[in-house]
Structure 1
Amino acid sequence: MTEATISPAEDLLDGGLDSASDTDLAALVRRDRSAAAFTALVDRHYSPIQAYACAIAHRRFAEDLTAESFARLWRKLSEGAGPTTAVRGYLKTIVRNALIDGHATEARLVWSEDLPEPSTSRDPGEESDDVVEALAMRDALARLAPRHRQVLELTVLQDRSLAETAVLMGLNPNATAALKYRACRSLRAALLAT
């Protein structure tokens, strides 16, 4: 008679999840989509990740960032990807990226209570001011370096995220963010010079 061999993963499912390493739990989720193993990861890392989110973001966003980090972790592990070691570090990276993505999205939002009341009658002088400002902006943009114009066009005019822009420009997201920052500074200087 041959005895059935029990794999370490099956042994973990028999109740040893609390003592399992992050690597073993991640492997279980990756291989079997084990909800029990993922729950053990969440139980182990939720409080530290939420504390980290509170440390780098406003408290009102911390809960959303924490939830988003675990949702992304589940998605990656379920796809057979994600971390093989350092699950907490991976989650912290997700929180940082989600915060950056959120700031980029929030920067494009216009809150209606901040808008002035529309006037029913416009002064003809205001319309000419708008034309002058538009011409100044066009001239300032024309003086920018081509890469600066491109990053501003993609992120501001086409409303693309930094990640999308990075792919289109062949850069990594951090380099794209730095390039956008420099482009905004250059545009400001060009506008002030007119």
Structure 2
Amino acid sequence: MPGEGASLARLGMLTRPIAGVQPADAVARDEAFAVLYERQFGRVYAYLRYRLGDELLAEDMSAEVFARAWGKLRNLDDPDRATAWLFATARNLLADHYRGRPGCLSLSALPAGRHPATDSPEAQLLTEESLSFVSHCLTGLSEREREIVGLRFVAGLRNREIALAFGLSEGNVAKIIHRALAKVRARLREEYPDG
């Protein structure tokens, strides 16, 4: 996975001095950031890759999310709030990226670890058909529903974390997910009444 093996020190995030921070505080801050990075980088990357369909751009945006987090770390001491902040920042970066462009949902990047050069033609076709089917099923959802479903099932966020990122109640997030899945089920029943 991108980011694995990439040390934070190599990124230059843990070695710069912080004005007004004592060395012991700086070490604690570095350790807290390292834990946040280790726990959340993969989830942020998966979400951005799901939304962008581009591995390199998802890596760049993930790095930008964590660069911004580094500057805000002292305000991110609650793990749920830190996760929500990371994903809200990712959403804002996506909005900046797509500003002025027609909206689209790219699912071409969903299967992690896919290797088209080594996959059999049958496996490639099955994967492409599966992605096309999933994309087709999600077209009846609003942008917000697709985004929340992506955060829940691709990035693996809990409803509480999504609620914090969107400024919604946890119950509202659960309701949105429930209704979105009901729409997908209804669409499947309509298109495949015998299956």
**TM-score, length of structure 1 as denominator length:** 0.34
Q: Which structure has more helix as a fraction of its residues?
A: 1
Select the structure with the greater relative contact order (CA < 8 A; seq sep ≥ 6). Answer: 2
Instruction: Give me the TM-score of the superposition, normalised by structure 2.
Output: 0.34
Larger C-alpha radius of gyration, 1 or 2? Answer: 1
